[in-house]
Amino acid sequence: MSDLRELYQDLIVDHNRKPRNYGVLAGANRRADGHNPLCGDRLTVYLLVENERISDVRFEGSGCAISVASASLMTQSVIGKSLAEATQIFERFHGVVTGQSTGPDAIEGLGKLAVLVGVREFPSRVKCATLAWHTLHIAMTQPGAQPVSTE
Amino acid sequence: MSPNAPSFDDSFGRRWRSEFPLLARTVRGYPLAYLDNGATTQKPLAVLEALDGYYRLHNANVHRGVHSLSEEATAAYEGARDTVRDFLNAAHRREIVFVRGTTEAINLVAQSYGRDRLKAGDEILITGLEHHSNIVPWQMLCAQTGAVLKVAPLDEVGAVPLEGFEALLGERTRIVAVSHVSNALGTVNPVAEMGRLAHQHGAIILVDGAQAVGHSPVDVRALDCDFYAFSGHKVFGPTGIGVLYGRGDLLEVMPPWQGGGDMIRTVSFNGSTWNELPYKFEAGTPDIAGAIGLGAALAFVERVGRTEIARYETQLLAYGAGLLDALPQVRVLGRAPQRAAILSFVLGRIHAHDLGTILDMEGIAIRAGHHCAMPVMDFYGVPATARASLAFYNTAEDLDRLAHGLGKAMEMLG
């Protein structure tokens, strides 16, 4: 069962039960929707971007524990970051969970996000972990776009 | 064994299990508990040997060769057709068309029967239970012809009340298409009665039998249906093969579905003439091995006994339902009085995909998702359910492990 504990670590279970930065962001100047229709995960990411920096971020939606925990952890890791820094984190996270970036350095650079790395062993669940990030990316770059999907 | 569930003697299931090599596998270090038979079934040695034997000893193209190998292959292929005819109790072999699966069978009927026949304002009646394969082909046909799709509603136990169904039948109804057994909920539809009502209104009825044929006897003449479709891979046969049963007089007047070799009698650049039934609907080299494998699967099922299978699955369902009912956080959707051995449920606030992954880690295979029945999910207001779909090689232990896994999931994520 150790593999399972690697995926559903306490931090993930906690972030699923009590998602951080959850809700609508009044005064948001960017938003985007993400939806994986085949598995039923859907979420909205709200951003307040000031001087190319993410002053505030929220998300809301519903889905599996991996998608909710990932979104919650994401908001914690990008708040206060510049758009460029947030994009860097997105690319690093995406590279690791899709197995494209390997090696201990890649994982270490993720900080708390490393808790989701176990999803690599469950290919069908990777899209659950990346949905929030792709949605964030669209909110940052194409705020009026159609809902994004990682399916 | 659960103290709350009625115990039952699962020796029937355990005896036949040994015929299925894959069931001896381990998954993530655990013995496999395969509870995803609604998605596809495992294959007995008899089927594996038939497939292997065909390619080792009898492989040749069918119908057209004059050499011995071709005659052997043709005999085996056509022998499989006779096996299907007998399995369904159809009257004639020309009413048995080999296709890729249930989906292709329904598309064939929609396009060949419906396309030329339906006019704007004509109606097609389906139910709220249908799999996407018995929804989308009709939507496409409606878009092509201007016909209108009507949907008989579900009630809270996941059944289709006949009054609601009948109220939607009218003088413009041309086609009724219903599932025999719902893959998402396990509901068994009263298809014989639905057919009678359809005929009263001058409509034909197509029955989607994908989830039915592997689990209980099906008699197309007793059902008096006009079309019946099923997939080989859901009745312990190979993937890529399925059957459309069609009433002979209907198939006779329907235009061909696909054009090519074998479905013609003569071809010239001035025109071509069609072959007789069923070949008119079998263009190109068929899935010869698939059909032979399907024949072997049906013969195997007959050996086991479909009545015995149905009886055992009733007990399996009762045992499994008892286990799940004993877990306070489990809500089983689909509680129709007539039900197949399918348990579709939600567990507390846990998303079905998380549940599926947690069970997978213990070697238990269930399906988590919308089961290609998004309208059913919408009806219950859930994004997905977890589904355990049983077959006659499942045992009490498989279900015990499922229940135990659900408890573990509740501990972790509930």
pLDDT over 90, % of chain B:
95
Residue of A1, A62, A66 with shortest CB distance to B354: A66
Which phi and psi (to 5°) does residue A108 adopt?
-60, -35
Write out chain A residues lying below 8 Å of B405, CB-based. Answer: none
- Report pLDDT for A132: 96
Query: From the list A1, A42, A125, which residue is nearest B353 (CB)?
Result: A125
Report the helix count and the strand count for chain A, using DSSP H and E.
Answer: 6, 3
- Would the pLDDT of B1 be above 60? no
For A10, the closest chain B residue by CA position comes to B412
| pLDDT at position A8 | 87
Hey, are the CB atoms on B358 and A128 less than 8 Å from each other? Answer: no
- Cβ-defined contact of B413 to A40 (cutoff 8 Å): no
A40 lies within 8 A of chain B by CB: yes
Burial environment of residue B38 by CB neighbours within 10 A (0 to 12, 13 to 18, 19 or more):
buried
CB contact under 8 A, A65 and B350: yes
pLDDT of residue B64: 79
Token pair 């984190």 is at which residue?
A89
Task: Assess A66–B contact: CB distance below 8 Å, yes or no.
Answer: yes
Contact across the interface for B351 and A63, Cβ inside 8 Å: yes
What pLDDT does residue B3 have?
A: 54
Chain B residue with CA closest to A41: the answer is B383
- Chain B nearest-CA distance from A52, in A, is 36
Residues of A within 8 A of B358 (CB-CB) are: 4, 8
End-to-end CA distance of chain B: 24
Q: Is the pLDDT of residue A2 over 70?
A: no
pLDDT (0 to 100) of residue B227: 98
- Quick one: CA dihedral B141, B142, B144, B145, positive or negative? positive
- List the alpha helices (DSSP H) in B288-373: 288-304, 306-325, 352-360
| Average pLDDT score over residue span B278-283 | 97
Contact between chains at B351 and A7 (C-beta distance less than 8 A): no
Nearest-5° Cα angle at B231, B230 to B234: 115
Where is B50: in which H helix or E strand?
helix B45-53
Q: Residue range B303-309: average pLDDT?
A: 97
Q: Is the pLDDT of residue A72 over 90?
A: yes
ipTM: 0.87
pLDDT value, residue B252: 97
With a cut of 80, say whether residue B198 has pLDDT above it.
yes
Q: Residue B308: is its pLDDT beyond 90?
A: yes
Q: Three-class SS of residue B327?
A: coil
Does residue B372 have an active-site annotation? yes
Are A65 and B384 within 8 A, CB to CB? no
pLDDT for A3 equals 62
Counting one residue from A and one from B, how many pairs have CB atoms under 8 Å apart?
48
Q: With an 8 Å Cβ cutoff, are A40 and B28 in contact?
A: no
Which of B30, B355, B357 should be substituted to probe chain A, the one whose Cβ sees the most A Cβ atoms within 10 Å?
B357
Which chain A residue shows the shortest CA-CA distance from B378?
Answer: A40
Report pLDDT digits (tens) over B114-156.
999 999 999 999 999 999 999 999 999 999 999 999 999 999 9
- Taking alpha carbons only, the member of B103, B174, B168, B96 closest to residue B132 is B103
- Asked whether B114 and B273 are in contact (CB, 8 A), the reply is no
Q: Is the pLDDT of residue A5 over 70?
A: no
Whether residue B4 is predicted with pLDDT greater than 60 in this model: the reply is: no
Q: Which residues of B touch A6 (CB under 8 A)?
A: none
Catalytic residue of the set B32, B46, B372, B382: B372
The pLDDT of residue A143: 66
A97-150 pLDDT per residue, tens: 998 988 888 888 888 899 999 898 888 999 999 999 999 999 999 866 778 888
In chain A, which residues have their Cβ closer than 8 Å to the Cβ of B377?
Answer: 40
**pLDDT per position as a tens digit, B225-253:** 999 999 999 999 999 999 999 999 999 99
The tokens 């070799």 sit on which residue?
Answer: B261
Residues B72-106 have pLDDT tens digits of 999 999 999 999 999 999 999 999 999 999 999 99
* Of the partner residues B350, B358, B384, the one whose CB lies closest to the CB of residue A39: B384
pLDDT tens for each residue of B157-172: 999 999 999 999 999 9
Q: Which residues of A touch B350 (CB under 8 A)?
A: 65
pLDDT of A6 above 80: no
CA distance B147 to chain A (A): 28
Residue keyed to tokens 């704007």: B120
Tell me: pLDDT of B394 over 80.
yes
pLDDT band at A1 (very low <50, low <70, confident <90, very high): very low
- The answer, yes or no, to whether residue B54 has pLDDT greater than 70, is yes
pLDDT at A151 over 90: no
User: Which has the minimum average pLDDT: A35-49, B28-42, B210-224, B362-376?
Assistant: A35-49
Q: In whole numbers, what is the pLDDT of chain B averaged over residues?
A: 96
A11–chain B Cβ distance below 8 A for any pair: no
Supply the pLDDT for residue A144.
67
CB contact under 8 A, A40 and B383: yes
Task: HSE, CB side, 13 Å, CA atoms: give it for residue B9.
Answer: 4
Query: Among residues of chain B, what percentage have pLDDT more than 70?
Result: 99
Q: B409 near B359, Cβ under 8 Å?
A: yes
